[in-house]
Structure 1
Amino acid sequence: MKESSNINANKKKWAWKLPFLIFLIAGTFLIVKKQQSIPFQHDKGFIFGTAYSIIYQYDHSINNEIKDELQKVDECLSIFNRHSTVSHVNDNTPTKINDMFTYIFNLSQKISEDTDGAFDITVAPLVNAWGFGFKNGIYPDKATVDSLRKFTGYKNVRIKNGKVIKENPGIMLDFSAIAKGYGSDVIANYLKGKGIENFMVEIGGEIVVRGKNEKQQEWKIGVTKPTDDSLNTSPKIQTVISLTSKAMATSGNYRNFYYRNGKKYAHTIDPATGYPVQHTILSATVFADNCATADAYATAFMVTGLDKAMTILENHPELMAYFIYSDEKGKNAVWHSPALKDKIQK
């Protein structure tokens, strides 16, 4: 009798549990179905002198709001905007810096310190002197390089009491190697703030992804194969990497270079020497939790070279990298962080 009583008790217990489970499963199905029925928006435009492409799952386009958010970054960090905060700082015009400027400045200085100055937001005068800014083909001599180095050096600038203090008034700040990544972060955070779970933000090749794509899969991001196609008329994909909830940025010298006396000079300038770097890395792609960090480290690794970049990565388990470099025979070779192994699709 006792066994029969237990069976009846179990039946009664499941009698009220079963409808609840059915309701729960049906509710979950409807939520998923509704989520899948929401369209993906594809917005494009131009900012920071480059193109942006943003794909996100939402019931309508919010491209105007996206433009407004990007404009805030432009008005703060763009050296091409004569009225931006950084332009006023460079002109030594008294100006009040905001939280955005302070955040990017401090992050830049932190990464400069971590990479022994390979990343340096004061290197612009040297970049321009080498002709990459104006493409004038007139290369600086040693005296010119030495004189310009007096106006560079991340340790010669700091923030104090809400103001930028420069050791030399001729020092100029250039956030170009971190601003696009930061812009991608700004839009990613804006989309998350609106409850958008599935999106890809790309500004000039600097990317943030979250959730899944339109095929309900992780986002598939291509890494461009290094070529001597300076106009990028026929880009080829080196590999495809599967990502979600991650940021990615790439820096490469293979589309911006010139030959002199039989040598190939990269567009990346070594702040320590004032001259273009010459080593085997052709492309550095970095993965991080935010795109500003990925952007800055990708630039730094183009300066440090492969061995030092790998040493830095050992001290930063939160970072991953994919390097394309030229081996001893002059052929393209690849090194990537072990954690990327399962993410590489081809």
Structure 2
Amino acid sequence: MTIHNARKKKAIWQLPFLILLIVGTILVILQQKNMPYQHDEGFVFGTVYHVTYQSDDNLKSEIEAELKKVDDEFSMFNKQSSVTAFNQKGRLTMSPMFEEVYQMAADINRETNGSFDITVAPLVNAWGFGFKNQQMPTSQDVKDMLRHVGMDKLTVVTNGYKAAKELRKKDQAVMLDFSAIAKGYGSDRVARLLRHHDIKNFMIEIGGEVVANGVSEKRLPWKIGVAKPGDDSLNTNDELQTVLNVTNKAMATSGNYRNFYYKGGKKYAHTIDPKTGYPVQHNLLSATVIADRCAQADAYATSFMVMGIDKAKKVLKKHPELKAYLIYSDHKGNYSTWYSEGLIDARKRE
């Protein structure tokens, strides 16, 4: 048998398998195309969540069960949560979930030189955010509270034969607040749940913290808008500054332009600098961060609002895995933007 005939015979023998492969692929594509998208929403962490995902089955009960696990660990408004227990008792045997988020918070605290700090709660509350307080803190009040702020005032020890890790206060006045990372982590946990169900196309949004994977119902990459800054504390302005393609990534936005209040004729931003104890005063209006994990994006976006644009750029240079879209006020008071290389407005691609 000649080489030519042998190759021809082999090709003929492989043809049925090739046909089966093509037909199978077409059937999978058709099945996926016909599979519906589910739309679930509800209330969690003091805000609204939306989850869109392609599945024949509705998983709302499982999604809410997963979100409840996160709430039971990190909500300061949940009297039975782990963080409430720690704030009251000063020590806590950490669950794997609590340890995961605490370690991430500690890592980002180090990478941002303390700009992200989960011990900033007393200052946030004193300035009238979180738990509202009508009495403005004096400079002495701020100095006193700063003595109890800083992750160096926490320690982790290993207890027992199971090597359980216990978080302890070195200073009993320390109080933890995970609000700048918990919503992002909640989005990550729901994404983990959907991937466990082998769901490829989904978008999760909890209070503006987003995880997106695959494609939308329009068979296009997920497009997430970034709000245009405005002096609008009532959140009535829906104008967008830009729209970003966010596929197989997470995104979080932090901004002072909607989160502020006036007292004594002065405007106070909601972001507190853990190192000075005062609301930040700089020209960065909004920080949007894209990362692999939403908890990271959430924490870094908050950090950048503390740092301001110049220090934020230095962190981004050190962490090329992060992308950012920053909106700031220039020297003339006009809106200007800076964004990471490769991060392009999705509308300009169409």
TM above 0.5, yes or no, is yes
Distance (whole Å) between structure 1 residues aligned to residue 127 and residue 92 of structure 2: 30
Q: Which residue of 2 aligns with 1:67?
A: 64
Q: 1:245-297: per-residue Cα shift (whole Å, max 9, x none)?
A: 10111100011223467754311000100000011110001011101111000
Q: Can you list the C-alpha shifts for 1:114-171, whole angstroms capped at 9, x where unaligned?
A: 1111000010110111112344443211011111112211211122122222121111
Whichever residue aligns with residue 151 of structure 1, its letter is H
- Provide closer, same or farther for how the CA distance between residues 64 and 311 of structure 1 changes in structure 2, counting only shifts above 3 A: same
Q: Indicate the residue corresponding to 2:22 in structure 1.
A: 25
C-alpha contact 2:223 2:346 (8 A) present in aligned 1: no
Q: 1:345 aligned to 327, 330, 347, which one?
A: 347
1:116 aligns with 2:113: yes
Aligned to 2:34: 37
2:136 match: 139
Structure 1 counterpart of 2:287: 284
Q: Which amino acid aligns with 1:344?
A: A
Question: Superposition pairs for residues 133-282 of structure 1, below 5 Å?
Answer: 133-161=130-158, 162-259=165-262, 264-282=267-285
The change in CA–CA distance for 1:49 and 1:84 in structure 2 (over 3 A counts) is same
Distance 1:158 1:237 in 2: 43
Give the SS at the match of 2:98: helix
Query: Conserved in 1, the CA contact under 8 Å of 2:90 and 2:172?
Result: no
Q: Aligned partners of 1:262, 1:47: CA distance in 2, in Å?
A: 34
1:300 to 291, 303, 322: 303
Aligned partners of 1:264 and 1:278 also within 8 Å: no
Task: Give the TM-score taking structure 2 as reference length.
Answer: 0.93
Q: 112-121 vs 252-261, which deviates more? A: 252-261
Distance 2:268 2:237 in 1: 22
Question: Helix, strand or coil for the counterpart of 2:237?
Answer: coil
Ranges in structure 1 where 5+ consecutive residues have no aligned partner: none
The answer to whether the Cα contact below 8 Å between 2:50 and 2:204 also exists between their aligned partners in 1 is yes
Question: Taking structure 1 as the reference length, what is the TM-score of the superposition?
Answer: 0.94
Identity, % of aligned positions: 54
> Are positions 1:49 and 2:49 aligned together?
no
Number of aligned residue pairs: give it.
342
Task: Report the equivalent of 2:86.
Answer: 89
- Per-residue CA shift, 1:73-131, capped at 9, x if unaligned? 11111111011011000001654321111111111011011111100001011011111
RMSD (Å) for aligned C-alpha atoms: 1.7
